[in-house]
Amino acid sequence: MLRIGMIGCGFMGRTHAYAVSNLPFFYKDLPFTARVCGVCASEPSHAKEAARRYGLGEAAENEEELIGSPDIDIIDICTPNVCHYETILRALAAGKHVYCEKPLCVSEEQAFHAAREAKRTGLTAGIVFNNRFLLPVMRAKEIVEEGRLGRILSFRGAYYHSSAADPNRPAGWKQDRTVCGGGVLYDLGSHVLDLIYYLCGPFASVYGVGNIAYPTRIGRDGKPWNTNAEEAFYLTARLACGAVGTVETGKIFQGTNDDLSFEIYGTDGALRFSLMDPNFFEYYDAAAPHAGFTRVECCNRYPAPGGVFPGAKAPAGWLRGHVGSMYAFLDAVYRGAPASPSFADGAHIQAVMEAAYRSAESGRMEEVHALV
């Protein structure tokens, strides 16, 4: 039995709790069982309510109590970004495995230190890059690893939302640099940067430009508020493999929903995917040019040891990525193995984002620092 203590029980807390409690449906013959046994939030009353509503065990007064509990093996961090670093260090020091939401931290220095601490302790420490576990992304990864794209030359990644398109909607904490640690680059950009990294390899250097479209908004207290973090961000990047491409993100794009997409172009073929069409990706084989792009159906055909629930033909969606991500992490804990994606992966993406912010200030291409 893997016993999880959840810190933060808002949107992601609910999502992770759903993933944990549904694992036996999605995975055949699970060698472990897992339960969220305790929870805390910014207010004890929120934790009590979440514990009651979602069956999350005991509500703790605060994170110190939860992390210190001998009845907890794993700390699952679902709090706003500025909280992650302290909680990670506290949990690792207490000998707990850690599953942390993205972005890992709010600076490269913090993220590198967290990654080093995870390695030093030998505990399983994973970051939630859930989109790696969407079935079309897993199949795309196989195609890249089989060398079917040849040498990767270029890529285009984007993650657009419309949640900040209405200037009269009060700004949430994800738009506030003092809580988010950055702007939309941290919030949505981290996901799409990770997919490019996962499929094409590490970043070497980046050029970045941010944009604030609405300098004044309504704050969380209902009063006028000055926007303090970028609402859109645009990067040009060179990867270690030599490929050059772009990544864009923003929350001010009318008409978009959960518009995460990528295109990858190699010497021998190409791939493209959109999360709004989550059961397919498109593959182009340069050896069969007249076939054009082939739409590859993925649906619910899970890789082993996934069961086939609710059926191979059934469409799968965003939540399935979180279930797969949770499974991969807990399975690593069970086997005493390192997590993948790991804190080192989270630290690389943090370094990319920090280089992008440095570039937006300097107006120059900036090197991405290596984790040391």
Ligand X SMILES: NC(=O)c1ccc[n+]([C@@H]2O[C@H](COP(=O)([O-])OP(=O)(O)OC[C@H]3O[C@@H](n4cnc5c(N)ncnc54)[C@H](O)[C@@H]3O)[C@@H](O)[C@H]2O)c1
Chain residues that interact with ligand X, rule: CB under 6 A: 7-13, 40-42, 46, 63, 78-81, 83, 101-102, 128, 130, 187
Q: Which residue has the tokens 């850690």?
A: 98
Residue 20 or 143 having the CB closest to ligand X:
20
- If the CB atoms of residues 185 and 232 are measured against ligand X, the closer one turns out to be 185
Q: How many residues does the chain have?
A: 372
Instruction: Select 80 or 266, whichever has its Cβ closest to ligand X.
Output: 80
Distances from the Cα of 132 to the Cα of 35, 50, 114, 174, angstroms: 23, 28, 22, 22
Q: By C-alpha distance, which of 149, 219, 183, 201 is closest to 353?
A: 183
Q: Which residues pair with 100 in a beta bridge?
A: 77, 127
The neighbouring-strand residues paired with 264 are 155, 271
Residue 124: how many CB atoms within 10 A of its CB? 25
**Residue 62 contacts residue 40 (beta carbons within 8 Å):** yes
Nearer Cβ to ligand X (49/297) = 49
* Nearest residue to 217 via CA among 228, 225, 229: 225
The closest alpha carbon to 125, from 322, 294, 347, belongs to 347
| 76 closest CA partner among 48, 43, 101, 112 | 101
Nearer to ligand X, 83 or 237 (CB): 83
Q: Are 202 and 369 in contact (CB under 8 A)?
A: no
For the record, the structure tokens of 8 come out as 């933060």
Structure tokens at 40: 């805390």
Query: Closest CB to ligand X among 63 and 345?
Result: 63
**Nearer CB in complex with ligand X: 78/239:** 78
Residue type present at position 311: G
Burial class (CB in 10 A: 0-12, 13-18, 19+), 281: buried
Nearer to ligand X, 3 or 102 (CB): 102
* Strand locations in 96-231 (E): 97-101, 125-128, 152-160, 203-211, 216-218, 224-226
Q: How far is the CB of 170 from ligand X (least distance, A)?
A: 13
Q: How far is the CB of 71 from ligand X (least distance, A)?
A: 19
